[in-house]
């Protein structure tokens, strides 16, 4: 695991600029650094040594003829197989790293090389002779890759913050990204919160030549249910492919550990990974926010040592600025901060950790996936439901009314992902500024179009795989782990696991309670849970049915306490807040929450995190730990 930066176009002090950019991402690779600079390009790399920890593995790496230059972030899990194939074709390797297979795969197969890879990756290859820059991002977006066109220069790299060190970089806030963020809770657009800075989307590559940038998708999820196998056969296949994936994700020349919560995903990973150490964090003593006791018992049952930490409120709040700095763009997911702390805990012991991200999106694990056709009302004619919904929308919002409003809308109108903070109308009323932000449904429309013929559960999964997972789940996984120089690997997000999961019929992903037996009172991730139950020690097998908590954070409780209420209130009354928002509305949200009139915690947190991020990146507030 590493980080890289680079830029095209000649500047007089290219060597010093690339060094400054590399220093900004030192946390991604404290073990070694390297650079390549010529009259056309500058490349910089920071290395966290995982495979072939000798100096031979340092980057940039070069082809044997010296023409190709590589900088790479990630892991290629099938590199030994690829290396053997390439050696048969006459390619000679100089190192034992997985990185070098990318160079010769590119020589042998061109852009088609991406179809052969299995792993998580972002990389660029510079072809000196033809002056072509080739870059790619992995299938799911586990590893980040940003780019920016500033004047005649193309900047690219693992983190946006490095771009700020380039003399051509112009720092401007993208207010359209802010408006979308208020709905999604993460940066949902291709363009980031910085104007003219973009995310290369998952499963895409770019080619840059003669100052022209071409971007192409090379892979996509393809849900095609196979109705022939029985449930028992699917469970067996899930167990087989996931065992194999976990073993592939353990390839390393250093120790590997595992995160552990009380949910089935991380428990499944930990149970079959055969690592020595697991890591858990929690808050206080309330079991709603603290899974440490459960994790210790589970770890004992599988014969492993659990390391745990209780996060004090002062620690959590004290690290908010540093965390938003590390994130590059604001993220309002409270679990990101908990993830930051568990990554810090693990980094005290080792360099690589396994985690359970992706299982919900791939196997159908979110509760909202059980919503379609869940009531008799769903079977009524669409026109009738829409008419009732239109009437209900004019009534004051409350639980029963909201049901009819929601059921009166088509999926494509109501579901934009797992988070829905402010509606388009609410965000426009809240913002003082005017933006060109599209409606949320405009961002989701082209994903829905690709799966127009699928059932509603599959449509939701497909959307979450492409937006929520990359924009929230994997963003925080990469940035929070790399903040501690820790490599986080996600064996559920494997091309072979996905290839199996996309064939599982919907009824075995999300099923109905009446067709499950009394010992399996769950309806989401059905087949995967059965597989996990088989692979989990009998005394702890109940985890397969346990409701997922993830990293639960008591922000709704804290925001009612005077100390934290006033921290947020002061930020809501700041000059920056007055620049963007109608602050009287923010204070109303905060007061209504404090007084128990409504649970506004997530909306409050969404705005608060943006203001923290803005203070760090645009007002130069210190992001050092304040605890």
Q: Is residue 531 part of a domain?
A: yes
Residue 383 pLDDT > 90: no
Q: Is residue 226 part of a domain?
A: no
Out of 453, 479, 494, a domain closes at 453
Strand pairing partners for 489?
Answer: 354
The string of DSSP letters for 297-353 reads: HHHHHTT-EEEEEEPPHHHHHHTHHHHHHHHSS----THHHHHHHHHHHHHTT-SEE
Q: Do 129 and 31 share a structural domain? A: yes
- Tens-place pLDDT, residues 384-436: 878 887 887 777 766 777 788 778 788 999 999 989 999 999 999 999 999 99
Q: Do 65 and 36 share a structural domain? A: yes
Q: What is the pLDDT of residue 287?
A: 56
When divided into structural domains, the chain yields a total of 4
Q: What is the pLDDT of residue 391?
A: 81
- Tens-place pLDDT, residues 452-479: 999 999 999 999 999 999 999 999 999 9
Q: Is residue 437 part of a domain?
A: yes
Between 535 and 375, whose confidence is greater? Answer: 535
Of 1, 2, 273, 510, which is the active-site residue? 2
Residue 355 pLDDT > 80: yes
**Which of 458-462, 524-528, 545-549, 615-619 is the least confident region?**
545-549
Q: Do 270 and 245 share a structural domain? A: yes
Where is 261: in which H helix or E strand?
none
Which SS3 state, helix, strand or coil, does residue 122 take? strand
Q: Which domain holds residue 490?
A: 231-365+467-545
HSE, CB side, 13 Å, CA atoms: give it for residue 38: 9
Q: Do 254 and 321 share a structural domain? A: yes
Q: Do 247 and 207 share a structural domain? A: no
Joined tokens for residue 526: 């059905």
Q: Is residue 24 part of a domain?
A: yes
Residue 546 pLDDT > 60: no
Beta strands in 410-526 (DSSP E): 487-489
**Which of 241-245, 499-503, 551-555 is the least confident region?**
551-555
Q: What is the pLDDT of residue 521?
A: 46
Q: What is the pLDDT of residue 542?
A: 55
Q: Do 122 and 19 share a structural domain? A: yes
Where is 149: in which H helix or E strand?
strand 146-150
Q: Do 115 and 73 share a structural domain? A: yes
Is residue 343 part of the annotated active site? The answer reads no
Rounded-to-integer distance, Cα 286 and Cα 263, Å: 17
The mean pLDDT of 324-348, rounded to a whole number, is 96
Q: What is the pLDDT of residue 428?
A: 96
The string of DSSP letters for 390-428 reads: HHHTTSPP-HHHHHHHHHTS-HHHH-SSS---S-HHHHH
Rounded-to-integer distance, Cα 53 and Cα 61, Å: 14
Q: Do 86 and 171 share a structural domain? A: yes
Query: Most distant CA pair in the chain: distance in Å?
Result: 73
Strand pairing partners for 119?
Answer: 76
Q: What is the pTM of this model?
A: 0.93
Q: Do 300 and 205 share a structural domain? A: no
Rounded-to-integer distance, Cα 27 and Cα 33, Å: 11
Q: Is residue 225 part of a domain?
A: no
Q: Do 292 and 148 share a structural domain? A: no
Rounded-to-integer distance, Cα 138 and Cα 121, Å: 5
Rounded-to-integer distance, Cα 319 and Cα 13, Å: 35
- Between the ranges 55-64, 257-266, 507-516, 541-550, where is the mean pLDDT highest? 257-266
Residue 527 pLDDT > 60: yes
Q: Do 381 and 514 share a structural domain? A: no
Joined tokens for residue 420: 């829905």
Q: Is residue 405 part of a domain?
A: yes
| b/e sequence 600-626, b meaning 16+ C-beta within 10 Å | bbbbbbbbbbbbbbbbbbeeeeebeee
Measuring CA to CA, which residue among 212, 73, 67, 194 is closest to residue 154?
Answer: 212
Q: Is residue 459 part of a domain?
A: no
Out of 430, 453, 476, a domain closes at 453
Joined tokens for residue 170: 């112009």
Measuring CA to CA, which residue among 478, 579, 440 is closest to residue 160?
Answer: 478
- Tens-place pLDDT, residues 230-281: 999 999 999 999 999 999 999 888 899 999 987 899 999 999 998 999 999 9
Query: What are φ and ψ of residue 125, in 5° steps?
Result: -125, 125
The mean pLDDT of 492-515, rounded to a whole number, is 89
Q: Which long-range contacts (CB under 8 A, 24 or more apart) does 197-201 make?
A: 197/146, 197/147, 197/148, 197/160, 197/163, 198/146, 198/147, 198/148, 199/144, 199/145, 199/146, 200/122, 200/135, 200/136, 200/137, 200/145, 200/146, 200/147, 201/137, 201/141, 201/470
The mean pLDDT of 434-450, rounded to a whole number, is 96
Out of 453, 486, 519, a domain closes at 453
Q: What is the pLDDT of residue 626?
A: 43
Q: Is residue 460 part of a domain?
A: no
- Say which CATH number the domain at 128 has: 3.60.20.10
The mean pLDDT of 145-149, rounded to a whole number, is 97
Strand pairing partners for 210?
Answer: none
Q: Do 171 and 53 share a structural domain? A: yes
Residue 341 pLDDT > 50: yes
Rounded-to-integer distance, Cα 9 and Cα 7, Å: 7
Q: What is the pLDDT of residue 514?
A: 47
- Tens-place pLDDT, residues 9-33: 889 899 999 999 999 999 998 888 9
- Tens-place pLDDT, residues 47-80: 876 655 555 668 899 999 999 999 999 999 999 9
The residue written with tokens 């426009």 in the block is 428
Alpha-carbon distances of 43 from 34, 55, 162, 198, rounded to whole Å: 8, 18, 12, 19
């Amino acid at each position: 695991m590493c980080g890289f930066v680079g830029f095209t176009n000649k500047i007089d002090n290219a060597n010093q600029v690339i060094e400054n950019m590399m220093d900004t991402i030192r946390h991604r690779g404290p073990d070694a650094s390297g650079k390549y600079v010529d009259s056309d390009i500058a490349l910089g790399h920071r290395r966290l040594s995982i495979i072939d920890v000798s100096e031979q593995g340092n980057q940039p790496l070069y082809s044997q003829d010296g023409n190709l230059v590589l900088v790479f972030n990630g892991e290629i899990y099938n590199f030994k197989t690829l290396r053997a194939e390439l050696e048969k074709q006459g390619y000679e390797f100089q190192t034992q790293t997985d990185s070098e297979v990318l160079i010769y795969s590119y020589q042998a197969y061109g852009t088609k090389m991406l179809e052969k890879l299995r792993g998580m990756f972002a990389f660029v290859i510079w072809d000196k002779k033809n002056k072509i820059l080739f870059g790619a991002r992995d299938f799911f977006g586990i590893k980040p890759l940003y780019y920016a066109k500033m004047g005649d220069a193309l900047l690219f790299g693992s983190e946006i913050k490095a771009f700020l060190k380039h003399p051509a970089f112009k720092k401007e806030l993208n207010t359209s990204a802010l408006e979308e963020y208020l709905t999604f809770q993460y940066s949902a657009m291709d363009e980031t919160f910085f104007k003219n800075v973009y995310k290369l989307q998952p499963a895409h590559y770019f080619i840059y030549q003669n100052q022209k940038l071409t971007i192409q998708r090379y892979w996509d999820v393809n849900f095609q249910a196979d109705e022939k196998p029985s449930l028992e056969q699917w469970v067996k296949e899930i167990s087989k492919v996931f065992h194999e994936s976990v073993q592939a994700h353990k390839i390393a020349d250093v120790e590997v550990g595992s995160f552990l919560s009380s949910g089935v995903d991380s428990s499944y990973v930990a149970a079959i990974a055969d690592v020595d150490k697991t890591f858990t964090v929690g808050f206080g003593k309330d079991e709603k926010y603290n899974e440490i006791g459960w994790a210790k018992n589970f770890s004992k049952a599988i014969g492993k040592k659990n390391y745990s930490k209780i996060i004090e409120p002062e620690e959590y709040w004290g690290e908010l600025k540093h965390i938003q700095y590390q994130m590059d763009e604001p993220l309002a997911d409270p679990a990101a901060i908990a993830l930051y702390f568990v990554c810090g805990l693990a980094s005290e012991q080792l360099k690589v950790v396994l985690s359970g991200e992706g299982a919900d999106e791939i196997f159908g694990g979110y509760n909202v996936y059980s919503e379609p056709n869940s009531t008799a009302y769903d079977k009524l004619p669409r026109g009738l439901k829409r008419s009732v919904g239109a009437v209900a929308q004019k009534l004051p919002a409350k639980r029963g009314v909201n049901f009819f409003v929601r059921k009166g809308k088509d999926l494509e109108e109501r579901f934009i992902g797992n988070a829905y903070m402010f509606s388009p109308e609410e965000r426009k009323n809240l913002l003082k500024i005017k933006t060109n932000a599209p409606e949320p449904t405009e961002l989701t429309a082209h994903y829905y179009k690709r799966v127009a013929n699928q059932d509603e559960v599959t449509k939701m999964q497909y959307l979450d795989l492409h937006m929520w997972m990359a924009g929230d789940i994997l963003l925080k996984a990469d940035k929070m782990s790399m903040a501690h120089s820790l490599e986080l690997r996600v064996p559920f997000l494997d091309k072979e696991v996905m290839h199996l999961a996309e064939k599982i019929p919907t009824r075995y992903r999300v099923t109905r309670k009446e067709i499950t037996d009394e010992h399996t009172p769950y309806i989401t991730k059905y087949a995967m849970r059965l597989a996990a139950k088989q692979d989990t020690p009998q005394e702890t097998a109940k985890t397969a049915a346990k409701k997922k908590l993830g990293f639960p954070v008591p922000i709704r409780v804290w925001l009612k306490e005077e100390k934290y209420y006033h921290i947020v209130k002061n930020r809501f009354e700041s000059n920056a807040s007055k620049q963007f928002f109608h602050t009287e509305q923010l204070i109303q949200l905060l007061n209504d929450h404090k007084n128990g009139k409504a649970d506004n915690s997530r909306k409050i947190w969404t705005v608060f995190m943006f203001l923290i991020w803005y203070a760090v990146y645009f007002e130069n507030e210190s992001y050092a730990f304040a605890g």
